[in-house]
Structure 1
Amino acid sequence: MHLFFYGVLREGVGDWPFLAGLGLGSEASVAGALFAIPDAGGWYPALVLTRAGHATNVVGTLHEAGDVDIGVLDAFEGPQYQRMAVPVDGWEAGGSEAQAYVWTGDLPEGAEPIAHGDFVRWLAETGRSAYSGS
């Protein structure tokens, strides 16, 4: 199984022990809209799938799931996300889809659109901190 991460689980953003055993990542993107969600523990992103022609390239990394416990990942992401297969572009290893955590509910008040689709870049541009789990 392959996983697409676009936010706080991307390499270099946070230190998440439950990702030990994750395969090396390669840059990839998914069509959708990206939003930053405020939280007392920092900001985290929400990928919203959109109709064709209304999407941005959401930037992230693609990983072989390796020995990662998917149940722990599902619990970390929480009920507002659903893990589902999404089409992926830029996959160096070949293939066409991966599992990604997609936002399925209404966006909360204070959610900010990320027009360029890159959460890590948005953090750097705004000086905001990524969600750290605290």
Structure 2
Amino acid sequence: MESRLFFYGTLMAELGHPLAREWHAALSAGEKGWVEGRLWALPDPQGWYPALVPGEGRVMGTVHCPLAAFDAAMLAAMDRYEGEAYRRLPVTVRVASGEIAAQAYVWQEALPEGAVALEDGDFAAFLARSGEQAYRGA
């Protein structure tokens, strides 16, 4: 796989999701950046997860390059984890050195009841501020 991946939520390495740990072993360390859009935190009995939707604003995250060990099976597993509500789409990531083409999981459905707008576009900061836990389902 050649395309870079942009993570802004439960798949960020620092949030420690067990599946994300496995996938990050086959990805570069990553570079902080942001994409254009609006970010929402969505409640679930197994923890909160984010939804990137088109719109004005900045969504903070990390862009990663796949390493040789990252294969089609890992990408398919990632797609299954994200589920039907998300679609992996091309995005432009703004990093310190300029712009990078990548793919990100973009929310495709109506936002559920209880969704919280994250004006700062930072899911990890939302979790730290609120004391809530990130989604841990599989």
TM-score under structure 1 length normalisation = 0.90
Query: After superposition, where does 1:74-85 map in structure 2 within 5 Å?
Result: 74-85=79-90
1:56 aligned partner, one-letter code: G
* CA distance, structure 1, for counterparts of residue 131 and residue 99 of structure 2: 35
Give the C-alpha shift of residue 97 in structure 1: 1.5
| 1:10 corresponding residue in structure 2 | 12
SS at match of 1:105: coil
TM-score under structure 2 length normalisation = 0.87
1:46 aligns with 2:51: yes
Q: Which runs of 5+ in 1 are unaligned?
A: none
* CA distance, structure 1, for counterparts of residue 118 and residue 131 of structure 2: 14
* Bigger fraction of residues in strand: 2
| 1:90 corresponding residue in structure 2 | 95
SS at match of 1:89: strand
2:7 aligned partner, one-letter code: F
SS at match of 1:22: coil
Q: Is the 8 A contact 2:30 2:62 kept in 1?
A: yes
* CA distance, structure 2, for counterparts of residue 46 and residue 84 of structure 1: 13
* CA distance, structure 1, for counterparts of residue 66 and residue 103 of structure 2: 10
| 1:107 corresponding residue in structure 2 | 111
1:30-59 residue CA offsets vs partner (Å, 9 max, x unmatched): 010000010111000000012xxxx11100
Matching residue within 118, 121, 125 for 1:117? 121
| 2:34 corresponding residue in structure 1 | 29
Aligned-pair identity (%): 43
1:129 aligned partner, one-letter code: Q
